[in-house]
Amino acid sequence: MVGIGAYKQRMVDPSQALPGRATPMPVRNAHHVHGRPIAGPHLTGTPDGPLTVQFGMGCFWGAERKFWSIPGVETTAVGYAGGYTPNPTYREVCSGETGHAEVVLVAYDPAQLAFDALLKTFWESHDPTQGMRQGNDAGTQYRSAIHCTTQAQFDAAIASRDAYQRKLAEAGLGTITTEIRFPALAFYYAEDEHQQYLSKNPMGYCGLGGTGVSCPIGLGA
């Protein structure tokens, strides 16, 4: 008999995924930290907007905080991506029956911030070798992921993974399990209470924990 933990660490069959709904999750369209919009046409890949990428690093509360204060990041939001259920709820995602990962949508200005800097933050801020979990948080929604919106991002993500894998192997650590996609699948906003959660709740839970191995991206290694 498969326990609930093991069950939630298996990707749901698409035919068995929850049906979801057509209505998007309502969110307050102002970032709790800096007030800039977290949703809108400028975040959907328009030529005159910022570039976007989705990072999955376990629980999205702490992951979002890692990115919102980086110079050159215009805004961040948390949501669900990489699965099958349209406009899921947090409870549905946590059930393991949507296929989604908890992700952070990061919108950034490439003239001010190199994508490699975001990748370095991503790799060093969690353990990308743990499969369908992150620390004590077990389930498909906690998997490591990079969902790219440009071919250049994808190529850089693959190169950074390979470089970081070499460093992890030198340190005696395991194989990277990060899901790297291009193009990114649909991003569904999480409930408003989850947006910038650790700004609203400074003493709230943060499950982030890196490997202690530095990523060589941007260092010529």
Catalytic residues: 59
* CB-based contact 56:83 (threshold 8 Å): no
Q: Where are the alpha helices (DSSP H) in the chain?
A: 4-8, 60-68, 90-94, 115-124, 151-170, 197-200
167-173: long-range pairs with CB below 8 Å, 24+? 167/213, 167/214, 167/215, 167/216, 168/129, 168/211, 168/213, 171/211, 171/212, 171/213, 173/129, 173/211, 173/213
